[in-house]
Amino acid sequence: MHTRQSNDLARRDLEIRHSCSKCDIRDRGYFCELHQSSVDRLEGVKLTKAYPKGTMLFVEGQPAIGVYLLCQGRVKLSTCSPEGKIMILGIAEPGDVLGLSAVIAGGDHESTAEVLEICQVNFVPADEFNHLLSTDTEVCLNAVRQLCRSYREAHRMVCSLGHSDSAVTKLAKLFLGWSRNGFRTNGHILVKNSFTHEEIAEMIGTTRETVTRSLRELRERGLVTLKGSDLIIHDPERLRTSAGVPGR
């Protein structure tokens, strides 16, 4: 993206942080927690860009040319079956590194990354990133941690899809996962939801109609309410028990 376009995007919707060292939102994510010496090395090889909603950062099967450090905004990760069925693998948040496994393996991307809202991304070319991994222990260790987290998330998804859980249970587990980033108030949890029933269906491997029915059942049981973009979890413990998820 040309610098002029990036600046126009920044003026409209977000303030671009060009310097990691001076960034005031550098408070989460493995590559946001590097010591200054590693930050300086990263600063020397990254390219900072803004991307509008709908941009494809990379497409499944495309050769990996670098990693994408998400600073602001959200990105949808999805995969497509040979029959054309889409499954949403997850929603990347600020602090996540996209394309990491493909770059390290020297292969193709396993998923498609689509920008959900205007975002800032720090791009590091594959050769520069691999050089950092081989010469900076902290960068290498944080890359391993990110891969471990991705493995755990993939493991949970496979287990959820492989088990004979009902659609209602899968939906409840999805909402519980979202609740970690929600706001607690008066015993309830408020979560902002920007996804359609179709997209939610792609997350849990079912159909839009099934999601609608499952959501109605959860609402009738007094567990959740979805009003516009506001998802209200009325009783997190009851929802957790309903989904068979151990308490904290």
- Where residue 235 sits, what CATH number does that domain have? 1.10.10.10
Convert the pLDDT of each residue in 223-240 to its tens digit: 999 888 899 999 888 888
Predicted confidence at residue 5, as pLDDT, reads 40
Burial class (CB in 10 A: 0-12, 13-18, 19+), 164: exposed
- Residue 248 located in a structural domain: no
Tokens standing for 184?
A: 């607690």
Task: State the helix-helix crossing angle for 137-162 and 36-43, rounded to 10 degrees.
Answer: 80
Whether 215 maps to a domain, the answer reads yes
* 56-58 and 47-51 strand pairing: unpaired
State the pTM of this model. Answer: 0.72
- The DSSP output letter for 30 is G
pLDDT at 25: 64
Query: In terms of domains, do 69 and 122 share one?
Result: yes
- Are 106 and 221 in a shared domain? no
Give yes or no for residue 206 having a pLDDT over 90.
no
Task: Looking at the structure, tell me whether residues 149 and 225 fall in a common domain.
Answer: no
The residue with greater pLDDT, 15 or 224, is 224
Domain boundary among 118, 146, 162: 162
Q: Which residues have CB under 8 Å from 27's CB, separation 6+? A: none
Domain ranges, residue 192: 167-243
- Confidence class for position 160, pLDDT limits 50, 70, 90: low
Q: Is 174 in the same domain as 158?
A: no
Asked whether residue 110 is domain-assigned, the answer is: yes
Question: Which amino acid belongs to residue 2?
Answer: H
Same structural domain, 151 and 185: no
140, 162, 184 — which closes off a domain? 162
Whether 83 and 202 map to the same domain: the answer is no
Is residue 9 very low, low, confident or very high in pLDDT (cuts 50, 70, 90)?
very low
Residue 99 and residue 82 share a domain:
yes
Write out the H or E segment, with its range, that includes residue 224. Answer: strand 224-227
Half-sphere exposure of 25 (CA within 13 A, CB side): 13
Among the candidates 162, 196, 226, a domain finishes at 162
Q: What is the largest CA-CA distance in the chain?
A: 57
Q: What average pLDDT does the segment 24-46 reach?
A: 78
Are β-strands 97-98 and 224-227 bridged in parallel, bridged antiparallel, or unpaired? unpaired
Question: What's the structural domain count of the chain?
Answer: 2
The whole-number pLDDT of residue 4 equals: 39
58-78 per-position pLDDT tens digit? 999 999 999 999 988 999 999
Residue 172 lies in a domain: yes
- Same domain? For 146 and 222 the reply is no
172 and 158 share one domain? no
DSSP code per residue over 163-197? S---HHHHHHHHHHHHHTTSEEETTEEEEE----H
* The pLDDT of residue 24: 65
| Predicted confidence (pLDDT) at residue 28 exceeds the cutoff of 80 | no
Lowest mean pLDDT among 28-42, 166-180, 210-224: 28-42
Which CATH number do you get for residue 32? 2.60.120.10
Alpha-carbon distance 114 to 8, whole Å?
Answer: 20
Same domain? For 99 and 206 the reply is no
| Residues 128, 197 within the same domain | no
Q: Is there a single domain that holds both residue 155 and residue 175?
A: no
